[in-house]
Amino acid sequence: MRELSVQTPTREVLVDITTRVRHSVAESHPDMTGLVHVFVPHTTAGVTINEGADPAVIRDIVDGLERFVPLDAGYRHSEGNSDGHIKASLIGSSVTVPVEQGKLRLGTWQSIYLAEFDGPRTRRVWVTCLPTAER
Give how many domains the chain has, as a whole number. Answer: 1
* Residue 135 falls inside a structural domain: no
Global pTM value: 0.95
* Residue 60 falls inside a structural domain: yes
* Residue 49 falls inside a structural domain: yes
pLDDT digits (tens, 9 = 90+) for 51-77: 999 999 999 999 999 999 998 888 999
Percent of the chain with pLDDT over 90: 91
* Residue 7 falls inside a structural domain: yes
pLDDT, averaged across the chain: 96
Its domain, for residue 102, covers 2-130
- Nearest-angstrom CA–CA distance, 29 and 57: 32
What is the domain-level CATH number for residue 8? 2.60.120.460
Amino acid 80: pLDDT: 86
Where does residue 88 rank: exposed (0-12), middle (13-18), buried (19+ CB within 10 A)? buried
